[in-house]
Amino acid sequence: MKFIVSSSSLLKELQMLGGVINATNTLPILDNFLFEITEKILTITASDLETTFSSSINVESESNSIIALPARLLLDTVKTFSEQPLTFLKTEKNTVEIIADNGKYAVAYVKGEEYPKSVELTDAKSTKMQGNILYNAINSTIFASGNDDLRPIMSGVFFQFSKESLTFVATDAHKLVKYTRTDFVAQENIEFIVPKKPLQILKGILQNINSEIIIHYNETNAQFNFGDSMLTCRLIDGKYPNYEAVIPKENPNQMQINRLSFLNSVKRVSIFSNKTTYQIRLNIAGAAMQITAEDFDYSNSAEERLECDYQGEDIKIGFNSRFLIEMLNGLDSDKVKLSMSLPNRAGLLTPTEIKEEGEEITMLVMPVMLNT
């Protein structure tokens, strides 16, 4: 086996795929990248059995071959090179020699045939969307997904595709985000839950990709294809909660306010909140909102007043400041609307203007009991 590849092209692929590999793996071979050369195309694969990510680049090669090379060692080495051709040559000592401009490095390899095979989707349906659209959907929802091992169905993002729209939902029972695109549709109605890890990987990559993403899915797996890359992941098994039932429909108390002013005020005031509850209090009356926080254990307190446009009865309501900060950071709007009904009912946070046509986003945050 011998092939020549650009160091910068190889590094780009390895860094993209490296996020799949776990610090500790059940199978030692999963500590490796799989290198497979077919007709001068090098396909590199990383897997943790649940998620498999492959990507292809052109190389100079005279023969087809397949080997597995240690991921961490390879990444640490390749990222130190300036742009140059690297020659990979299999030796008789059961090593692969990497030949660079100023040196050569021997790396032990594993037989590629021992690497776990990627899942092939059967009876799969598919839909298409632009990379930046999928990025927006993931970025807007993933922070609201849970981390509770006892409720795995809430530890991912719920994909709900229909002939009318594509909807993405995430919740941890304290906060919920629903992101909908009415400008993209699927072949038929289908629902599935994608785990957080593959979505985090996609989020990091798709931010700079505007090409078309093709999503294939069946009852057990989903596959995301873009350019010369393919990410396949096992879906979370189970039925997602009826999220529509927890979104309050009647919210007569509505406040509009500058998003950045609200966000910065919550950040400052929350510094003085109790470090267990992170509770802040919103006291809204007339055209003003008072934001307060207290930490009785240390006699710390803070209070700020913001102007707002408010329609409704005077209300005092408490929220976890961390959740509000996450949601306000997740919205891309100059102004936001906070819709409420009662102090013990969820509040809805929505943008007042939509930056992209066909986009709808609703964020729900549960209140916390106010200290009297």
Asked whether residue 289 carries a pLDDT value surpassing 90, the answer given is yes
* pLDDT band per the 50, 70, 90 thresholds, residue 296: confident
Task: Please compute, for residue 152, the number of CA atoms within 13 A of its CA located in the half-sphere on the CB side.
Answer: 9
* 103 and 137 both lie in a single domain: no
Which pLDDT score is estimated for 1? Answer: 87
Cα separation, 231 vs 134, whole angstroms: 14
Domain assignment present for residue 31? The answer is yes
Res. 141: pLDDT tops 60: yes
CA terminus-to-terminus distance, the chain? 74
Q: Running DSSP on this structure, what letter comes out for residue 353?
A: S
Confidence of residue 155 (pLDDT cuts 50, 70, 90): very high
Burial class of 362 by CB neighbour count within 10 A (0 to 12, 13 to 18, 19+): middle
Flag whether pLDDT at 312 surpasses 60.
yes
Average pLDDT, the chain: 94
Helix, coil or strand: residue 369? coil
Q: What's the token pair of residue 244?
A: 């529509």
Q: Is residue 119 part of a domain?
A: no
pLDDT of residue 356: 82
Model confidence at 371: pLDDT above 70? no
Q: Are 321 and 266 in contact (CB under 8 A)?
A: yes
Question: Which residues span the domain enclosing 29?
Answer: 2-114
Residues 309 and 224 reside in one and the same domain: no
- Tell me, what's the pLDDT at 140? 95
Specify the CATH number for the domain of residue 338: 3.10.150.10
How sure is the predictor about 211, in pLDDT bands with cuts at 50, 70 and 90? confident
pLDDT of 372 above 80: no
**If you search the block for the tokens 């409704």, which residue do you land on?**
312
Task: Specify whether 255 is located in the same domain as 360.
Answer: yes
| In a shared domain, residues 252 and 208 | no
Q: What angle do CA 214, 231, 62 make, to 5 degrees?
A: 105
Closest CA to 215 of 138, 281, 279: 138
Express each pLDDT in 156-172 by its tens digit: 999 999 999 999 999 99
